[in-house]
Structure 1
Amino acid sequence: MTSGTEAAVEPETLQGELTGEKTLSQGQTYYLTGEYTVKAGATLNIEPGVTLIAKHDDVVDYILIEQGAKINAEGTADAPIVMTSEKKEPGAWGGLHICGYAHTNAAGGTGKSEIGNATYGGNDDNDNSGVLKYIRLEYTGYAFDEEHEANGVSFYGVGNGTTVEHLQAYQGSDDGFEFFGGSVNVKYMVATDCSDDSFDWTEGWNGKAQFLVAYQSTEDELGYACDCLMECDNNGSNYAATPVAHPVIANATLVGNGGDAQGVRLRAGTQVELYNTLITGKEKPLTVETAETENALKEGTSKLEYVAISKELTSKENIYTNADFAQAAGNLTNQTFSWTDKYVGTADGGKDLSADSFFTKTNYKGAVKADEDWTAGWTL
């Protein structure tokens, strides 16, 4: 019996499998324990302002969206969705994993997710796994072993029918966002203090990305080092695997925390078009490796244009050199950058990096592919 007040209600705990449709209600708090799998044909809806907390217990907590399932998680700038953990440390839980029917160049044309062992891949690059908007994922990166660590969000063969906008990965112990093949397009993505790579792609990802921010605090501040700002592969086992990775990326601000790690590392046969990008804070801000990757740049299949870096480009094969980079449209080397705003976290009342106000445009002017609809409406 209560005395004049209602008894406190324990938040609902998500676990096991979802086989129908479920909605997490606006502004409410939920717990997560163990694997929560949204099965084919099912839909998980998450409304604005929801907080999802992974329990600090003896099981690994993560969310897995299978092929044919959907997640519609639509926060707002004023009421973002927060996925976090009781344990406020990197690697506390396993993050979000989405499997789709879009392509992968893994052997056989399909693969298994690193976490959950779910099938992904196919031939439907227009596949739709749902909507992700205004979501902050904190303290992800649980390590099952040296080969299986959980990113903030892992996109496995996710198609371009999926909407992904305004996401932040905060203090994960693996990558912030990783793309395993697929064609998904993303916009407004922030990776803050992730100990491995901020952004990572492999297996032929060929989507488009605009307004990316990576920021790494110093090792003294964090207590751990951080790896690349972007680690970019086609396929580590077969550099020439098709479809070849060829994302188109514009408006990226990538700030590292020193050390010997690369900033943007293009390798393993990947192609890329990278426009209007600033790269600083790494001993080697931009490196190119493998004959396939360097030849694509040399021949113009790949493009680096209006890219400003703090030192010089490093070429492993000496096919596409710093001289080639410096001669391309708008590129600048050995630049010094200053910042008028620096938001490095979200805890203790810090700035919400998923809000539009964080994505102010830099003063660096250049040209992007203006004929692409995805850049419409932005003044560069």
Structure 2
Amino acid sequence: MKKSTKIILLLFVVFGVSGTISGQQEKGIVGIDNWLNNWTQFRPNQEYYGEPTQILTGRITEDTKLHKRYTYLLLGSVFVANQATLTIEPGTVIIGDYKTNGSLTIAKGSKIMAKGLETDPIIFTSSKSVKRAGDWGGIMILGDAPTNKFGNGSVSAYLEQLDPANYGNTNYGGDNIEASSGILRYVRIEYAGKRTKSAGYFNGLLLAGVGKKTEISHVMVSFAAGDAFKVLGGAVSIDRAVSYKSNGNDFKFNYGAQCELTNSLAVRSPYISSSEGSRCVKVMSYEEPGEVDLSKKGTSLTAKNLTLLNDSEDLKNDISMGLVRAGVYVGHFTSLDMEKTVISGFNPAVIFDSKVHINQENLEKIKFSEMYFNNCNGNIFVENNANNDDLENWYGNSAFFNVYSKSPNAETFIDIRNERRPDFRLKINKIIATNNDPDLIDD
């Protein structure tokens, strides 16, 4: 990457200056208080939730309520179908069975009402005493909002030994962009993502064809073997989500999804990421061009106030060993509007698919503004192309207000080493007074 100057970065101290004092940082995850407190758990292997007292299996075809006083076991592929609503009390624990690849699927037309509380979250976790990523399946919510696929999609490949009577309950997609599949609020999903023969890994939370009126807020997916949050089509908004040390992608959007992702956190570890090139945010419109109708809308994501962090203690060494990749991946025929986001410790910060031609039309559909690029080995590149001068000139324009830094994580964020109550917000006034790109990851 071409560099013209090396910039000495200055901390911008504003305390005591009238009219400029702010109670919180504007970039990355925001909040007057640390909204991670109370409901998240960054060491779930130290939790013991007790033995199951109730079993969930087969199909739930009538409105059903799960109660906190019981601990439930997902035995095999469990479906909420026939337009039924599954209501879950705050504090309820649901355990996915390891031996039968326990999973929960909310079929199209049905709903889940999982409304936990900040002090009493709903927990989905592993049945094993020594928990590992991929111990059980995961949660799949299927709706009837549009996708760009030819015909409707299906998740049947994830569900091995599927009862033929349930094939109809695996379909997603339709014309109702406003549809509601219910609410997930203050929910933790731990150690999901079991591997299947046909579809690869389950995901922590799969949202397929999910409509606008579905609420996904304060959901934490930790140690998923597949993607943490995977969105296929639909128009769902996700707010205050946490992906913690997943093997797959943290947030993946595909098949014409028209989505918003706000005030959310992804923390990656270079030592447990997938060799397939997992990203914090991956925006695609197809896996294979022939499976989608390119006359329909491609995937479009609006992303604001994200913190995307690679938790590496020796970043230069981890990059040299091929353990760290780009934080954000932008695919062909997609739109991304990302702003006020922190991308810290990646190689590089952003990669465009090689099919994305660098011209004004495409650059106007892929926006990065008021960004904070920290300690990345380069910023924005096209895949397999080391010359990014055009991209640097475009996104380095002062009109975008993008800023650059080279600062260790411990100095950048408030308190990320507190295992019990970490705080991944930027330190107050940890924004630099330059929009030039410094040399990063050097000696």
TM-score, length-scaled by structure 2: 0.72
Mapped partners of 1:251, 1:81: distance in 2? 25
Correspondence for 1:229: 280
What CA deviation, in whole Å up to 9, does each residue of 1:104-139 have, x standing for no partner?
A: 11123x111253461111111101000000000000
Residue of 366, 370, 380 corresponding to 1:302:
366
Question: What 5-or-longer segments of structure 2 have no aligned partner?
Answer: 1-49, 160-166, 313-317, 433-443
Per-residue CA deviation, residues 80-102 of structure 1 (Å, 9 max, x unaligned), is 00100122110001110011001
SS at match of 1:49: coil
* Paired position in structure 1 for 2:304: 250
Give the aligned residue type for 1:315: V
Distance 2:405 2:116 in 1: 40
Cα deviations by residue, 1:153-196 (Å, 9 ceiling, x for unpaired): 00001001101100000001111101001100110000001011
Distance 2:63 2:357 in 1: 44
Aligned residue-pair number: 346
Higher relative contact order (CA 8 A, sep 6+): 2
Structure 2 SS opposite 1:324 = helix
2:413 corresponds to: 339
**Structural mapping, 1:1-380, within 5 Å:** 11-57=53-99, 59-87=100-128, 88-108=131-151, 110-113=152-155, 114-116=157-159, 118-145=170-197, 147-219=199-271, 227-238=278-289, 240=294, 242-256=296-310, 257=312, 258=318, 259-292=323-356, 294-295=358-359, 298-309=362-373, 310=376, 311-316=378-383, 321-327=391-397, 328-333=399-404, 335-336=406-407, 337=409, 338-342=412-416, 350-351=420-421, 360=425, 363=428
The structure number with the bigger radius of gyration is 2
Q: What per-residue deviation string (whole Å, max 9, x for no partner) do you get for residues 49-69 of structure 1?
A: 001112232x11100011000
Structure 1 position 292, deviation (Å): 4.5
Aligned-CA RMSD value? 2.7
Q: Could you tell me which residue of structure 1 aligns to residue 34 of structure 2?
A: none
Contact 1:308 1:335 in 2 (8 A): no
SS of 1:253's equivalent? strand
Aligned equivalents of 1:319, 1:83: Cα separation in 2: 46
Structure 1 window deviating more from structure 2 (275-284 vs 159-168): it is 275-284
- CA change 1:253–1:209 in 2 (3 A) is same
Per mean C-alpha deviation after superposition, the further-off stretch among 324-333 and 205-214 is 324-333
2: distance between equivalents of 1:16 and 1:214?
Answer: 34
Give the Å deviation of 1:40: 2.9
Q: Is the 8 A contact 1:306 1:332 kept in 2?
A: yes
CA distance in 2, matches of 1:344, 1:218: 19
Q: Deviations for 1:284-322, whole angstroms, at most 9, x for unmatched residues?
A: 211112445754764523321111223321123769612
Decide whether the 8 Å contact of 1:265 with 1:287 is kept in 2.
Answer: yes
Moved over 6 A (4+): 223-226
Distance 1:297 1:281 in 2: 29
Unaligned runs of 5+ residues in structure 1 are: 1-7, 367-380
Contact 1:14–1:33 (CA under 8 A) maintained in structure 2: yes
Q: Secondary structure at the match of 2:370?
A: strand
Question: 1:141, 1:174 within 8 Å by CA — same for their partners in 2?
Answer: yes
**Compared with structure 1, are the counterparts of its residues 332 and 365 closer, same or farther at alpha carbon in structure 2 (3 Å cutoff)?**
closer
SS in 2 for 1:340: strand
CA distance 1:312–1:43, shift in 2 (3 Å): same
Asked if 2 retains the 8 angstrom alpha-carbon contact of 1:312 and 1:334, the reply is no
Equivalent pairs: percent with the same residue? Answer: 24
The AA in structure 1 aligned to 2:288 is: S
Distance 2:248 2:234 in 1: 22
What is residue 3 of structure 1 aligned with on the other side? none
* Cα distance, 1:247–1:229 mapped onto 2, change above 3 Å: same
What secondary structure does 1:262 align onto?
A: coil
